[in-house]
Amino acid sequence: MNATFDDCLKCTVCTAACPLTEVSDTYPGPKGAGPDTERYRLKDSSYYDEILAKCLNCKRCETQCPSGLSPAEIIQTARLRYDHRKPRLRDRMLASTDMTGPLAVRFAPLTNTMLRLRPVRAALDMALGIDSHRNMPEYARERFTRWWRRSGQEEIQARFTKRITYFHGCYVEYNNPELGRDLVKVLNALGYGVELLEGERCCGVAKIANGMTDSARKDAAHNLSAIRASVHGHRRPVIATSSTCVLTMRDEYPSLLELDNTDVRDSIDLASRFICRLVESGDVRVAFRRGFRMKAAYHTPCHMARLGWGVYTASLLRMIPGLDLTLLEQECCGISGTYGFKKENYDISQAIGAKLFALIEKASPQVVVTDCETCKWQIEMSTGRQTLNPISVLAQAIDAEATRRLNTAEKH
């Protein structure tokens, strides 16, 4: 089923779809960087070209390829295999969310203020190459897991007979614990309890993107054994709220980190898909708040498109009465994780996103909805519009108490 570079017809569909090729004068495009040159690299690794590191790994080429190839995977694998440059300090900092996060949260008010100051941003720009135009993500004052313990969630959640395991990811842990609380609120109302993944580590996407493969593989192996304990031991699926964490754990663990996950892959799910399927199958019922009104536009993150799951978030949002929803045409936002934070990529990142920003302006929503945290940062910075995860929109829209009654009454 998995096509190799030999199956490429040279049709150039991927190059026409590549958001980077569209704005870059030097990038050869997915066909050129992937299947065309892979055969040379196999012969002699000196054919590897550093320009390949410019690939955003947005995977739009893979969604568009008529022949079933994965050009982005060919490019990323080549980068991991042949790019022996040591990651710069800046790249290690951006990628090590598990090191910078705890520190930043501890001093959150100070960190957030500092990161907004021009001189600090100029210094980051000069010393590290983090572009000074870029708004840095805000850090939370309290980590998600700290809230979890403080509010006695372990005990509360244990009261539910049906439970899932939540992979909250670095973003919920350090930047947006509110989203984690929203998921707990929604799932509890639907009659599901939430557990945390034992000793969760970063999914690894940022480390993979920044050449820290060994460290990423260690984290991934650790996560996989915890996922196995949840899936096989407790019969609990693992649910995440970030489309990129899900894609990484399902698809990039085997393809890029060469870790076999076949026994648990189908049990790694995205919250909006999990909930959408529960509602559509009639297993749970939802009561919505009467007065809820929101004008929203949904942006499908590239990785969501690659998962093929945009349809679930769209269906979930369409269930909400009072939500005036525009489905935005599919365009890459340009940030691609840590990529757009780097000084050398800032202009390209914004040029790629320009079409999406224009579509958002045209739709003129109160809120943009998207499943990816870095898309959120990019959209908020570039359009000034509040951007929410679909689960947070759902949490605002449901009548939690009435929903809870609907789902407990059904048991009798």
| φ and ψ at residue 370, rounded to 5 degrees | -155, 155
CB of 222 to another protein, least distance (A): 25
Comparing CB distances to another protein, the nearer of 310 and 337 is 310
> C-beta of 251: minimal distance to another protein in Å?
10
d(CA 174, CA 225): 23
Sign of the Cα pseudo-torsion (174, 178, 179, 183, in order): positive
The smaller minimum CB distance to another protein, of residues 21 and 176, is found at 21
- Distance between CA atoms of 340 and 333, rounded to whole angstroms? 10
As measured in angstroms, the least distance from the Cβ of 155 to another protein is: 32
- For another protein, give the closer residue by CB, 140 or 302: 302
State the nearest-atom distance from the C-beta of 249 to another protein, in Å.
14
**Edge-to-edge, what's the strand order for the sheet holding 294-298?**
323-327, 294-298, 367-369, 386-388
Strand 193-196 and strand 238-240: pairing?
unpaired
Between 9 and 117, name the residue whose CB sits nearer to another protein. Answer: 9
Site residues (vs another protein, CB under 8 A):
9, 11-13, 15-17, 21-25, 62-68, 266, 273, 277, 280, 305-311, 314-315, 327, 329-330, 348, 351
What gap in Å lies between CA 305 and CA 280, rounded to an integer? Answer: 21
H or E element in which residue 296 lies: strand 294-298
Regarding beta strands 163-167 and 367-369, do their DSSP bridges make them parallel or antiparallel, or are they unpaired? unpaired
CB of 65 vs another protein, minimal distance in Å: 5
Choose between 61 and 209: whose C-beta lies nearer to another protein.
Answer: 61
Closest separation in Å from C-beta 274 to another protein: 10
Q: Which two tokens stand for residue 27?
A: 């990038």
Residue written as token pair 């790629």: 352
Residue 38 vs 62, nearer CB to another protein: 62
Q: List phi, psi (to 5°) of 240.
A: -125, 160
| Rounded distance between C-alpha atoms, residue 237 and residue 228, angstroms | 10
